[in-house]
Amino acid sequence: MVYEQIKAKLPQGWFQKEQQPSIVEPETVPITVNLQPPANLAVDSIYRKYRCWTGNPVSCEWTQKTLAQNPTAKKCQNCGFPTILVPKTEFRGYKGRYRIDSYVGSRGMGRLYHGTQLADQQPAIIKEYLIPELVFNAEEARDCKQAFERLAGLSLADGRIQDIRLNFPWDAVADPVAERCYLVTSGNVDAYPSLRTYLAIINRPMSQRDVYRVLDQVLQTLQFLHGQKFSLPTGQVQQGIAHGNINLDSLLIMADTPEFFIYVSDLAIWERLFDLPTSKSSNITYAQDLVALGYVAFYLLAGSTVDAVNYLPLDPKIESHWPAIEPAFKAFLFRLLELDKPFANAEEARQSLSQVFTLLPKEILIIQAAEEKTNNKLYRPSTIILSIFGGLILCTLIWWIIQKLRQPEVAVENTVVCCLENVPAVPPGTFNYTGEKDSTWSFIRRQSNLILQNQTLEAKLKESQPKLQLNYQPEDTLAQAIAKVKSRQSDFAIANMVEQFSPDLRHQEFAYDGLVVFVAFSYAKRDKSLPQALKGQISIEQLRDLYTGKVTNWKNLNGANLPKLKVKLYVPQDKELQRIFEQRVLQNESAIAEFRNLIQQQKSNQSITEPIVNITTLPTLEMLRQGLSDFEEDNIGSIGFATLSQVFGQCSAYPLAIVNGNKPAVQTLIQDNGKSINPNTDLCDDKGSYQPDIQVFKTGSYPLSYPLVVLYPGDNNRPPIGQKFADMLRTAEVQQLLEKAGLVPLNQQK
């Protein structure tokens, strides 16, 4: 089977299904793919069963012409190859929904489209890989799709976000019904022209200094790729990965700036999954990446891959195929191509390259002015005007250069730090910090598996700053925690900012959370369930009546036309959440006293008669399970509250939108189409198509939301560990971890 062939081409263990990821040690097991470096396996040889007029059905324009004549066509009218995707086509991935906006073209083994991530309306590039039925039978297609979702993706195992010009995929999707797989990348980088396209546009060889820049940037990326530890979509970790597909198509150029940038894309571990099942296999190694890069440089210097006279492929082993270049540069390329003593690794190659730069000829721009015949010594008016105009242009150019030189300094100051290890001036030493017991932070800091199995957020923070030792010493109440900070017994505190703090303390937000009120979300009795009856919302006033015992049956709830259902109230065990509920919902002293009295009666069983209303204190997950059971088995309408971070993704309960006074109802969850969820939204089957609405938390329009803050003294004589800890939590790296743990990040994460 093809599945077995694919398994044979990849490191042992990549297809294991255990929950615990295994660690693959450095390059002891080489990756094996179908490869003929440095050139790609031709697309037309793979899809040759489709008798395309151009020889390459992936890029053939007849798939577009077919759609122009018949917008519903699925196959090319000439050869039967699958047509391109039409605009507004949508599909669902593991990280959300996506829409095809327009066709870009083809590259390598796939076709490219401009697309949109519907959750946040951010741009994306979607690469479509074809698994047509004439090439792959049903079993082979299934195996390719399974391998694609397991392998198409890469991220740093330690969770860092590092801009090294390596185009990391965002999502990998195998179409469950069509002959296609989709690779999604955020932004527009993946639509930049390839070096092959760039050569065709400029229609001339690259200069030696430009080729130097290409080599320097790609070697830096390869050094990173070969030396770092990466996490694959399977959850497994690989120490160093060979690219295996370096060529003029997989290297993209951003040339709209004075100094161009080269981006590396299309790694072999997923790009070559769509080769012919019968094609010859070859182990790919780090050394082959260097050889392939040498071929790229050779072609760039020549300006083509074929000889202009006889149209035969250019060969660096043939001396006459080489252009006239600096001997030291040529000697370097001979080593890169392994025509001379090869480099040990990308780092050694890059160090050797740096010694060549000063020897390369400088690029000089020669401007020849046409002679102007004149019969007298006076300048014509047009000449004077042109001189003035030229002077203005020169002044503008000088000003632009000055601003350009200043720009990097400004950018560095304003850029949010990406990674924990890059947070500057973190004071070393041992520090104590505090918070409230059973608080959101106490829950978050204990969560493991944020990046690797069995690693908590706290362990990750310690790993990134080994000279910093933090001891968490929580208190029973927030007031006690604040007192510890003021008395210097603790250096800072983590708190839910429900109210303002005293002016001698400073605070820095690092995430958002909020209370959500939920009722059972029943499939068995969906039409008669409370989300439908309540129209997906509830008011602060109605909650106050329920949780003070004024309403014991849903049919008596003020302002609602509800079925006759006995009310059962659930309360989380966390004292912090009870306190927030009292402040935001109950608000006045009498209501708070009634609420506390109901809880006390339930705990002590002091009530001789049947309690006015049944109120139960449970952990959040128990509340969710029990509430559904109450409705489906006992015909009881239960309601509870907890934090969004613990309720999000639990589809047995529906989080109600909250109405505060005369203001419109505000929901915490938003769908990919930009609209809030409603009782008709399938919270289980549509997971991935909705997420927390960051805006309602940032603006505070959701009445039960609040920021999480680092609280620290404003005394400049004390070490700034509180401010630095806040800086660590606000890095892009930790923001992603907090989002995975259930909190709402400060900004939309990519």
Contacts of 250 (CB under 8 A, 6+ apart): 108, 194, 243, 264, 265, 266, 271
324 band by pLDDT with thresholds 50, 70 and 90 = very high
Coil, strand or helix at 279: coil
What is the average per-residue pLDDT within 594-611? 73
In a domain, 133, yes or no: yes
Single-letter code of the amino acid located at 396: T
C-alpha to C-alpha distance for 35 and 284, rounded to whole angstroms: 8
377 band by pLDDT with thresholds 50, 70 and 90 = very low
- Cα–Cα nearest to 187, from 243, 119, 117, 130: 117
pLDDT in the model for residue 372 = 37
Contacts of 576 (CB under 8 A, 6+ apart): 436, 438, 439, 440, 478, 496
In a domain, 15, yes or no: yes
Q: What is the CATH number of the domain that holds 293?
A: 1.10.510.10
Q: What are the helix (H) ranges across 235-307?
A: 268-271, 286-302
Residue-wise DSSP of 367-415: -PPPP---SSSSPPHHHHHHHHHHHHHHHHHHHHHHHHHHHHHHHHHHS
What is the average per-residue pLDDT within 598-612? 67
Q: What is the CATH number of the domain that holds 684?
A: 3.40.190.10
> Is the confidence at residue 610, as pLDDT, over 90?
no
Last residue of a domain, which of 340, 358, 376? 358
What is the average per-residue pLDDT within 594-599? 92
> Is the confidence at residue 463, as pLDDT, over 90?
no
Single-letter code of the amino acid located at 689: S
- Cα–Cα nearest to 246, from 298, 204, 207: 298
Coil, strand or helix at 274: helix
Longest C-alpha distance within the chain, in Å?
121
In a domain, 719, yes or no: no
> Is the confidence at residue 352, as pLDDT, over 80?
yes
Instruction: Count the Cβ atoms, other than its own, within 10 Å of residue 432.
Output: 17
Residue 567: phi and psi, rounded to 5, are -85, 135
C-alpha to C-alpha distance for 140 and 334, rounded to whole angstroms: 41
C-alpha to C-alpha distance for 325 and 604, rounded to whole angstroms: 91
C-alpha to C-alpha distance for 208 and 300, rounded to whole angstroms: 9
pLDDT tens across 431-444, in order? Answer: 999 998 878 888 78
C-alpha to C-alpha distance for 162 and 154, rounded to whole angstroms: 12
Structure-block tokens of residue 169: 């995929």
Coil, strand or helix at 531: helix
Single-letter code of the amino acid located at 188: N
In a domain, 614, yes or no: yes
pLDDT in the model for residue 714 = 80
What is the average per-residue pLDDT within 592-604? 87
In a domain, 495, yes or no: no
Residue-wise DSSP of 176-239: SSSSEEEEEEESSGGGSPBHHHHHHHHTSPPPHHHHHHHHHHHHHHHHHHHHSEEE-TTS-EEE
Cα distances from 716 to residues 465, 484, 501, 504, in angstroms, run 23, 18, 18, 11
8 A C-beta contact, residue 251 and residue 166? no
Per DSSP, which regions of 466-590 are E strands? 468-472, 492-496, 505-520, 537-539, 566-572
Last residue of a domain, which of 324, 358, 392? 358
pLDDT tens across 387-433, in order? Answer: 555 565 555 555 544 444 433 332 223 345 678 887 888 888 999 99
pLDDT in the model for residue 453 = 56
pLDDT in the model for residue 553 = 92
- Cα–Cα nearest to 41, from 277, 265, 225: 277
Single-letter code of the amino acid located at 293: L
> Is the confidence at residue 100, as pLDDT, over 80?
yes
In a domain, 643, yes or no: yes
Last residue of a domain, which of 702, 725, 743? 702
Cα angle for residues 238, 8, 452 (degrees, 5° grid): 25
pLDDT in the model for residue 421 = 80
Indicate the angle between helix axes 327-336 and 346-354, nearest 10 degrees.
180
- Cα–Cα nearest to 156, from 451, 466, 445: 451
| Count of domains forming the chain | 2
Cα distances from 674 to residues 397, 587, 665, 690, in angstroms, run 44, 32, 16, 9
What's the chain's average pLDDT?
80
Cα distances from 172 to residues 508, 554, 635, in angstroms, run 36, 46, 43
8 A C-beta contact, residue 108 and residue 125? no
pLDDT in the model for residue 228 = 87
Which residues form the domain of 528? Answer: 514-702
Coil, strand or helix at 278: coil
What is the average per-residue pLDDT within 334-356? 93
Instruction: Count the Cβ atoms, other than its own, within 10 Å of residue 521.
Output: 24
pLDDT in the model for residue 611 = 57
pLDDT in the model for residue 742 = 79
8 A C-beta contact, residue 705 and residue 696? yes
Coil, strand or helix at 626: helix
pLDDT in the model for residue 394 = 58
Coil, strand or helix at 116: strand
In a domain, 714, yes or no: no
In a domain, 471, yes or no: no
- Cα–Cα nearest to 293, from 236, 362, 359, 346: 346
Query: Between 522 and 469, where is the model more confident?
Result: 469
8 A C-beta contact, residue 733 and residue 515? no
| β-strands 180-186, 97-107 pairing | unpaired
